[in-house]
Structures are given as structure tokens and as C-alpha cells.
Structure 1
Amino acid sequence: MRKEECFYLGKIAKKFSFKGEVLIYLDTDEPELYENLESVFVDHNKHLVPFFIETSSLHKNDFLRVRFEDVNNEEEADALVGNAIYLPLSMLPKLSGNKFYFHEVIGFEIEDQRLGVFGKITSINDSSAQPLFEVLNGEVEILVPMIDHFLVKIDRENKKVIMNLPEGLVEMYL
């Protein structure tokens, strides 16, 4: 399995018991969806390695207490601490309407109700407080704020993000 075929679920935050259990921080709004996993991929030495889960339970709000098969003591658990956890993209819950995963709109055209189509989404910049669509219009990169108020429709069938952007936002790049 390659990282491109997976999504980041969280990371192994710390060991939990002398029996080799660990706490996985779940980077999700709905941790309960991942309480009964059979396996996960652990990013170990830049390779995704499958780990099978013997037992798991939610711990506090954002943590999953896990006992992996073949991890039987503190030392073995300690070697996993800090590693990222991934799952296949196929395990993401399906979204509908105007809810979307960042990866699914990459390559979509972006259309303003006033200007029409003005480029293709090449990536999402979520390194700041306000995520941005990075849009390519010819050789020009346009940054479009991902604000619910601007979003009109996610048209999955036609691979378009339709927005109602403030006048001047796109034009200042062109």
C-alpha cells in the first residue's frame, strides 16, 4: 500500500501499559467511526506496514487504546510511538452535498457564478488558519479561500467546485 492510496488517521501518541498497548491520537471529528478497526498501516521507516489489531477501545475523546498483534511489551510498543497511522482511502465515509475531502477535489475545475470557470484546483493549502484552494489559470496561481459562505456547490458528476466569490478576488491575480 502506498501513501497516495491512504489517508492520515493520526499517530501513535504514547504507550499505555506494560502489555504493549498504545494510545493512538485520532485526527478526526468522529473518532467513534474508527473504534472497531481490524488493522491499520503504520508509517515505519518511511514504509507503510500493516499492523493487526487484537483489541481497541476509545480512550477519552480523541484517543484509541490499541493492542496490536505481536506487540507484547513496553519496549515493542515504545518503538512505535510517534509513528503516523494510515488507512486506505476506500475506508473514508462517503460525503455528499457540499461536504468534501480535500483530496477528492484536486483536479476539479473551479467556477465562479459571475466569471465562469477560471482554473483547475491543483492542491489545498491548509497550513494556515484559513484553508485555500490553489488554482492554476494558465501559468498564474490563484489562491481562493475555502469559506462555506462562498461555496455554492460541489458538482462531483462534472468535477466542478462552484463558488460565489467577492468581486475582485480572482481579478487581482489576472
Structure 2
Amino acid sequence: MVASFTLRPAVPADGPFLAEMVVEAANWHAQRARPKFAVLTDPAHVHYVSGWPRPGDVGVVAEDADGEAVGAAWYRIFTKDDAAHGYVATGVPELIIGVRPMWRGVGVGRALMRELVRQAAAAGFVRIALSVEQGNFAEGLYRSEGFRVAEVHPPRLTMVRRLT
């Protein structure tokens, strides 16, 4: 498949699509898929989309040639008292990324991640974090983009990338 896609800023109306991408990210392993309801009622996963967009939220959506959304990446700022899976410190945005299965492995995730990292650096952040389940093939993408394991909380890894 030749991947033809474009990136655009995420807007308030993208909230439902971002929720779909949280479900895609959580269900990266087909044999351990969780129902949409289970993912979107998990308190940590809800943090990623509740009230989208909040002040400070930044996101990017990938669209195919027909304008259909195929993936998204966004970051949010959490506090220690209101943390999600990849929290490392107040003031360090947490990146969330999801790509529809048929669009994985063709550069969509990498393009989304690079654009969001670029925007985080331009906004003055020094680091950006994410959380990934151990064994997820996306860990290789994150490592290749400069993310390093900062904490291990089985079955999850918290990864951080320096931006400066």
C-alpha cells in the first residue's frame, strides 16, 4: 500500500476520533483486545480525551486522500494528583498516539509523532513522555525517535524524549 496522507491540526470536533484512537492504541494486540466501553471507562484512558481540548492540549490528525481520519497524536499536561499512564512530572506533556490498523507500518505514526514533538519543542517544553505496553511493536518506533525508558511499571513502560 502506498501511503498518501496529510496532517492537520486537531480541532475540538476531533474529540470522538481521539477517543477512537485511544481504543486503537489500547488494543494494539488483537488477541488481547478490550471492548471500547472497557477502554473508555478506564480512568487512566479517560484522562487522554476527557474535555478535549483543554488549555494546553495540542494535537495532529492524519487524513487519507479522501479526507478520512486515519490516525492522531496529541499531548496533554497532567499533574501528579491527576496523572495518566505516562506521567513523569508536572509540566512534561504526555504524548498519546493511535493509528487505524490498516495504516500502521506505512509512516503515519512516525509523521504524527515528529510533528507533535516539533510542536512541543516550539512551545518550549524540555521533555515529552509517553506510555507503552511492554511487547507493543510501537516501542521500536518510539526508540527510533529518541524516546528512552524512564520507568517500568509492568506491563507498561514510561518513555521520555529530551527536546533540547
Task: Answer 1 or 2: which has greater helix percent.
Answer: 2
**If the length of structure 2 is used for normalisation, what is the TM-score?**
0.24
Task: Answer 1 or 2: which has greater strand percent.
Answer: 1
User: Which structure would you say has the larger Rg?
Assistant: 1
| Relative contact order, higher structure (CA 8 A, sep 6+) | 2
